[in-house]
Structure 1
Amino acid sequence: MRTEAVVDLSPQEWEDLLQEKDEKLKRALRDLADVRRALDKSTIVAITDHRGIIQSANDQFCRISKYSRDELIGQDHRLLNSGHHSKEFFKNMWATIGSGQIWRGEIKNKAKDGTLYWVDTTIVPFMNQAGKIYQYVSIRNDITDRKAMEAEMLASEARYRIIAENTSDIISVINSDGDFLYLSPSHQTLWEHDVPAEKFQNLLEWIVEEDRDIMSYAIRYTYSTGKGYMAECRIKSERAVAIWTETKTSPVFDEQGNVTKLILVTRDITERKLTEEMIHHLAYHDSLTDLPNRRMYVQHLTKEIMQGKRFQSNLAVLFLDMDRFKDINDSFGHDIGDLLLVEMAKRLKSCIQPSDMVARLGGDEFTILLGQQGDSKRAEEVADLIMGQLQKPFELSGHLVNISCSIGIAQFPQDGDTAEDLLKRADTALYSVKSQGRNGYSFFDPTMEAKSLERILMENEMRKAIDQQQFHVYYQPKMDISSQKLTGMEALVRWVHPELGVISPGKFIPIAEESGMILELGEWILREACKQNKKWHDQGHILKVSVNLSARQIFQKDLVERITGVLEEVGLSAQWLELEITESIFVKMEEATAVLKQLREAGIHISIDDFGTGYSSFSYIKSLPVDTIKIDASFIRDIHHNQESQAIVKAIVTIADSLQMNVIAEGIELDDQAEALQQNGCAHGQGYLFSRPLATDDFEQFLAERN
């Protein structure tokens, strides 16, 4: 039927059919030509005979190999051999295509100019009707850039693997459930066990149970936010106590930006945590007696007051000190004085109940909080007990020492409803006992707040002292302990009264603070010290002068402007001035920090004086704009034979180093103390071993001798 239909075509229909086929053929030829052009632009195409002799090479082949077509035709592919592949490689290739199968692989070739390139190769064998191969068509794509990238990735992976497997930190990879995908070998060293990595299934199983929520939160946070997180937690190990670790979590993203896994870097921070705990204990306890210090006492008293307001209960605060403690230090020495304070602390603790608290505020000042219905009757009973206990002789290193004490008592709620008010009024009551002959106790009475005649006279005399030039600035050298090189000096004020003689700063500074005259006096000291330092600079003695800044001064509204004004007035650069502050300013932490930042921004150095005796704590220090920590003399006095003092100094130096702060010890009097400080990392100090505070002329002589 089909043949008949064709036969029945008219001549015109035959012509149309032939024309249609001709058009299809032309289109097919055009398509083939387009394919060829496309292949020439992007793909290497070569045709060889059954022996591998090149019969045809397209333009792309010539461009990549840098051979002309005439140079390629008639050659076999050994012309392009780079020597990279083994004979076995080519033997297997020929075995495959010789059997009529298609071969695929990657080949490294060498161009005419000697450069090497990689090609992804497919070789297709063609057979004649007799089933024999008569030619091969090879299709290649240039993959040189990809291979270079792969090589770089492998090298990079190898580098990171070396780092991961040799670092002391633990590097691990986990999924969202905390399962380990990778764990570096360092876990065995850090966690001190022989458990192989394959036995570690899940990170959380190795974390102390109480800390698992911390790590779980870190994992969830990083997965949900795509941000890193730092977590501190304890890890189980073969040690007697758990290991403190610090772990940084970092996300790994897929192409869609989803977090697929986490990389963890974990390090042992046990030593740092122990140091922080020591510093924390130091911040809340007196280093000599191990009693709570002022900061801890004030916090506890504040809490008790809140409870007292809630349950309408009574409290009593006892403020006491030894009578004529200075005479004991002068007669027997500071070592005996320290032993006396330690024994006194023990006796005070024996006079109170577990619910009460005794604290040392500094020097020979102690305070006691009587909780749980600390009414006047109980306060009297405890005061009588203390008086009796302290009147018993103390036997200290072969010396028999007899003391007495004075006690001031303030009560909540009648004498005040804040810790500051109660302490102040107990101190006022104590001063009243002192003024009446000492060795007794007294309850606070509002009439006591009237100033004593002595204080009124002292205050009046102070008002005239600046104008009459009765104050003088002395300078105590600061030294490099090892080289004995002078590194700076501290400016100290002295009052030389025309009738009373030299008046101790311990007497007039508190009055200056209370009366507000410290503002005028402090600015005078600052101006004198800066003016004198500028003179020494002009003489070639380039040193930094330290000036004490009182708590009252630091909260002046225009303090920064006043100090920078003085520096500009005398022509001294800010970098040669250091302001020493005491830890008491941290009662108003935020206000003090803001002022210190402004001073630092002006180029002035900041130092914390008497570190360790008051309010400081590691958490405060690491966030403060401070350049130098001055270790209090109480830690230095027995450092040459007291392991605890050495440990405290070493801990302070370690923390200061980590925070990039300087450390200087004050109160150095013996060579043994200087040697012990050096052994524990403290390189700078001041004290009578090097020089007592010197008048201006004497200090100039000291400078001349040093030069």
Structure 2
Amino acid sequence: MNQGVIKAQFAAGNLSHQLPERTSDELGRLADSLNRMARDLQKANQLLHRAQEIAAFGSWEWRPAQKVLQTSHGVQRMLGLAPTAKLAQIDDFLAFVEPTDRDRFASVLHGRFETPVSLELSLRGRDGKQRRMLVRGESERSDDGLVEASFGTIQDITEQQRVQRQLTRLANFDTLTGLPNRNLFYDRLSHALLKAKREQGSVALFFLDLDRFKEINDALGHDVGDSLLRLAAKRLKATVRDCDTLARMGGDEFTLIIEDCREGMAPQAIAGKLIDALHAPFLLVERELFISVSVGIALFPDDASDLETLIRHADVAMYAAKSSGRGAFHFFTTELQEAASRRLTLEGQLRQAIEREEIVLHFQPQVRADDGRLVGIEALMRWRQGELAVPPSQFVPVLEETGLITRLTGPVLREACAALKALEAHGFMDVRVAVNLSARQLQEPELLTLIESTLERFVLRPEQIEVEITESTLLDNALCQDNAVKLGVFGVRLALDDFGTGYSSLTYLKRFDVDALKIDRSFVQDMLEDPDDAQIVKAVVGLAAGLGIDSIGEGVEQDAQSTWLESIGCDLLQGYRIAHPMPLNDLIVWLETRYGAAPTSAAI
């Protein structure tokens, strides 16, 4: 190739050709230097093209005088063109730009701007796929202000924007249910309150908590729990408008923001729809699962003037709904706030009471109805604050709701067994002690191990312990049911407490090998005046007799009640008519006074 052609190729930017080597003179050394520079430049261009390819990046240049558009390989690649393809005219490139963006991009190419500019636009390549591009441009002008050249870059930001949208969604939406999460909830509630203040409007905030979800989640596993949450969220979402914000706060808690509750959109009507939405069973793992929802409602500006207070008040109202029986709704009131404050104080005091061992046991005798012989004692928790006694109805529910009750399982069992040994030391043999266990306690994985070790420590037999559980504790709670079966197999007696007041199921009596039915005091109290209560008591006594298990009438306060219970065949009596709950030392004195120092007790 002659030197003229090589010079022309160099001038055109083609660096693949080399000047002839001449090493004998200065011109030869110059040729060598130029060849090295050409190779370095060619390598740099290759690296630049590779970098642009990796970064989905390209460059362009437009010179109006030559009316030629120059684009890099990166631009051609983005459009799906071969590297050798040319986009000589602006219209050639604009054909790939979405029609709505063409005028804006043309203005950049023609340099119709005073300063460097950037804009986003959409391109559609040869493959038909739309891509989002970031175009940057600058211009060079002559002394008289005419555009001599426009040049800039173009970057494919399609994937970047997709990732950004995904990150935004992850930051603002719950991945399990697809609902707005806590962050987006706070943002939308803040905007709703600002709008309500500006327009003198109102906002209703609903705080929702699923009832019995934890029991199902613990019993059947997190996969089932997650599926249940998704289905519940879908039902709840179907009851609200698109303009309303239903958010998942975490766990089984949800919130709902309703702006401007007008006629026809009363908060109580909305709450009713939410509750009804979860009424039907959920079919999962080939079984029907039942949950409900407790709803608390707080109104802005009536109940609160700021975001945090509104949320707190809705939460307080929700707990009131849950305490009233679940599957219900409750509006916030100042009385609720005062009660919540007292409850919080009580919880703190209970934590200290447990540390200080202020929770003690009192014992109430259980005697045979026919001859009055002692059969057992029931261990009942009492809380003494100095000279004051806090009623169990005030502190036991708080222990159960907060889970503090589980910290007392071991101490209660040990103190109850120690009481039996004390009775044996005073000649009262073969007496059993009844211990109440809540759902939380019955779900403890190591419950059976704890009972076994405690009995071994005090040298007692399993049948000397009677565990009292309510029917609702066993309802669809697999962990409670499993532990109840294990306790029965081990030999611990099982008594169904408050029988007839809960979700009565005769299958419990067979499946769990129940040893006793306790007739609730509400029936015993009115059975002499209310024929319906009398029939219920007779039915329970007859059922127990037919199954060969004990019937226990609790809450017996009158001679006439004990006489009537004996006449219908009730086995055991318990109540103030027999004795009040009392400390162990007082119990021993009472027993020795009633039975003498060494009575003959009923065999277990």
Task: With the length of structure 2 as denominator, give the TM-score of the two structures.
Answer: 0.47
Q: Which has the larger radius of gyration?
A: 1
Task: With the length of structure 1 as denominator, give the TM-score of the two structures.
Answer: 0.41
